[in-house]
Structure 1
Amino acid sequence: MGRRKRNSRTLGKAELRLASVKSISHTLDVGEGLTVKDYTEKIEKMRQSLEAYNTTLSTIDILLTQLVENEQELADYSEKLLRGIAYKYGNNSHEYQMAGGTRKSDRKRAVRQSVVLPK
């Protein structure tokens, strides 16, 4: 399951507002640096940031999938290697223990407890 991508309601509202403001004038300047050109640039900057964020999330999803696959592949390989050592030297050998296995003679057997029934 991929990470949830982000959307911006603020960006959507700003785009609608820009369209409305442009219907007044494409070169509107209300003073104090508030112009249609600057508003357009800020909207584009936000759009690019959002796109970069969502693209990065997709990249992270791919990397996580690769990491999990590589981890499983390594675990399988480790298990096969230990089984190979058990086959070659036996699962009660010192070599098997040196490779990280538990020798057969070192395993504790489960002790069954007898159930005492009341009279």
Structure 2
Amino acid sequence: MNNAIRFNPDAENTTMKLKTLIHEYAHAQLHRMDSPLKDLPREHKEAQAQATAFMVTKYYGIDTEAYSAGYIATWAKDINLAKQALGEIQKTANNIIREIDHLNKERFQEVTKQAPMDKSDSHGKL
């Protein structure tokens, strides 16, 4: 097992690709082999992963509610199950957001180090 997350690179909808990537990463965080949540029923796991993906994408201003609401409802089938998972979901979503923000900060620093300064900008002109 190589712990790789793969999806169809030919898929054109980048929002769905991002949502899917976050969904699968949430599974990896929530349901890894050493997790106390690894033996939950599949319905619970799918609802957790999709709700986490929804929360993370929503945080970044990407609305996947039309897809996510139906997906979560299909897997959860039980409002009590959905409520039970909220704490686990929130913790995982917060961790993923921190990781993405950290990667974005590192990437921003890489780009700014590599980008040559334009001499015309040195006098405050845009």
Band of TM-score, shorter chain:
0.3 to 0.5
Report the TM-score when normalising by structure 1: 0.34
Q: Return the structure number with greater helix share.
A: 2
- Structure with higher Rg: it is 1
TM-score w.r.t. structure 2 length? 0.32
